[in-house]
A and B are shown apart, each in its own frame.
Chain A
């Protein structure tokens, strides 16, 4: 009986242990299943996260590539801008050098125009020579008038001689010829004197108008040089 009891107890213990073990396995299986389900859910979540992250990563990569492309383009543009900037800098430097050179040349033109204005003195000097020439002409006028006066006197004398020769009759015939010849010479001299007077007047006119043309031309050139000087000074002032 005891043995049966012990056996029953043992069997009962075994069964209990088996039951406990089965319960334990069942519970473990449940736990495992729950854990598996949780893990599966987590895996799904992680997978979705992974996919989303992958998608984000892909998008980020795409954006990165786009940014890299933009960056490359920007760098290229920047390089071009830098090159253009250098070019503009060189152009500006050249322009500044040109400006300085132009200012210097404008100053040279102004100085040269101012210097050339002293040519006016040369023209005035030439004009003064006219006074000297005209004084000589005047002197020739006076001498010609004196000659003309002498010639007129000779004409009167020759006329008187002709009258006296006529009074003398035959004896004065030879003298009359001489008197006539003298009158003829006096008339030619008078013509010559008139012609000489005309020549002197013509000479006066030509000399005066020519020298006045020189004087007026000198003033014209001086005025033009003043304009050039003023323009060059204005140009130089604008460049500074």
Chain B
């Protein structure tokens, strides 16, 4: 139902979105490593921010599990901010998913994106129940301190095949996704 080209394209689109949206400053480092989806020990007892991009052919769920430890909080949480940690993580996840949405719009004109919702991270263990055509997880480390586990899950309703022109991705892709 999903071609290798499409899998590679989604992987590339996520990596680019994470590198541009999960860092706060342009000079910050962002390391992304593929990990098994059932690797629950990476960030234990955490909550996960879930977002969905829907199209006629598929739906893509992006799940970002932010480490609630001090390093991650210190990186994302600005002093004096009126927002809660959960709101800040949701906003970051929303920006990352928005960047993926903007890129996917180049290949699929009919797309819509949900607002973020926070679930218990145990839910990730049940992603197979959704019968995904593509499931991939990543360990994202920003500035060698902030840790995020990202999971991309794609369920298809028809054969999915496309090749993303990743070299043409803009550095600042997409507008701010407000919610």
Taking residues whose C-beta sits less than 8 angstroms from the other chain, chain B's interface range is: 20 to 34
A138's nearest neighbour on chain B, judged by CB, is B120
Q: Is there contact, CB below 8 Å, between B117 and A205?
A: no
Q: Any chain B CB within 8 A of the CB of A154?
A: no
A219's nearest neighbour on chain B, judged by CB, is B112
Q: How far is the CB of B176 from chain A (nearest CB, A)?
A: 16
Q: Is there contact, CB below 8 Å, between A209 and B115?
A: no
Known interface pairs A198-B126, A209-B52. Does A223 touch B61 (Cβ–Cβ under 8 Å)? no
Cβ contacts under 8 Å, B54 to chain A: 212-213, 216-217, 219-220
Known interface pairs A204-B123, A208-B117, A209-B61. Does A221 touch B112 (Cβ–Cβ under 8 Å)? yes
Cβ contacts under 8 Å, A224 to chain B: 110
How many of chain A's residues have a CB under 8 angstroms from any CB in B? 25
Q: Is there contact, CB below 8 Å, between A206 and B129?
A: yes
Roughly how many angstroms separate A219 CA and B177 CA in the complex, as a whole number? 13
Determine chain A's interface SS by DSSP, over half rule: helix
Q: Is there contact, CB below 8 Å, between A208 and B119?
A: yes
Q: Is there contact, CB below 8 Å, between A216 and B120?
A: no
A217's nearest neighbour on chain B, judged by CB, is B54
Q: How far is the CB of B133 from chain A (nearest CB, A)?
A: 14
Roughly how many angstroms separate A198 CA and B124 CA in the complex, as a whole number? 11
Cβ contacts under 8 Å, B129 to chain A: 202, 205-206
CB contacts under 8 Å to B, within A122-164, are 127, 130, 134, 141
Q: How far is the CB of B120 from chain A (nearest CB, A)?
A: 6
Q: Any chain A CB within 8 A of the CB of B6?
A: no
Q: Is there contact, CB below 8 Å, between B112 and A216?
A: yes
Q: Any chain B CB within 8 A of the CB of A84?
A: no
